[in-house]
Amino acid sequence: MLAAALLSALAAAPPATAKEDVRAQLVSQLALDARAGTTITVTWRLYYKQDGRRRPFGASDLFVRLRSATGARATKAYGDGRNGRYTARIKVPRGGMAGIRFGLDGIRMFPDGRQEPAPMYFPLDNDPFEP
């Protein structure tokens, strides 16, 4: 319920602008060859641009997700932090890492009362898995 209320609050908050969305930036160096099962620390920033300046973005239920190189189940950990900077300790998935995403948990609510998870992902400026 908190996540649903958060998404409602975000929708009601003044937008950065229609064309400038929240973006993620990886702060920590990611050991791409870390062994499966190893716990690593990931630090990232979330920001949006307003009047040509970067502004920190904050919310609760922010997470990092690591995708497996072999198609095994992804791992997920919630971040701690403030002022747009977050850190999480997360296990490397079976098969090693093949991708990283940063997001915000949310819930999609239907008129008939049903609910389903609806995470929102942020574009990543410096994705170490992109060529």
In whole angstroms, how far apart are CA 37 and each of 68, 78, 89, 90, 94? 11, 17, 12, 9, 7
As to burial, measured by CB atoms within 10 angstroms (0-12 exposed, 13-18 middle, 19+ buried), residue 13 is exposed
**Could you tell me the fold of the domain covering 2-122?**
Immunoglobulin-like (2.60.40)
> Hey, what long-range contacts does 30-37 have (CB within 8 A, 24 or more apart)?
30/97, 30/100, 30/128, 32/97, 32/128, 32/129, 33/96, 34/92, 34/96, 34/97, 35/92, 35/96, 36/92, 36/93, 36/94, 36/95, 36/96, 37/91, 37/92, 37/94
Residuewise pLDDT in 10s, the chain (131 residues): 444 444 444 443 444 333 348 999 999 999 999 999 999 999 999 999 999 999 999 999 999 999 999 999 999 999 999 999 999 999 999 999 999 999 999 889 999 999 999 999 999 999 999 97
Identify the burial level of 66 via C-beta atoms within 10 angstroms of its C-beta, where 0-12 means exposed, 13-18 middle and 19 or more buried: buried
At 30 the pLDDT is 94
Please list the residues that pair with 24 across neighbouring strands: 46, 124
Q: Write down the domain spans for the chain.
A: 2-122
CB 49 within 8 A of CB 20: yes
Q: What is the pLDDT of residue 15?
A: 41
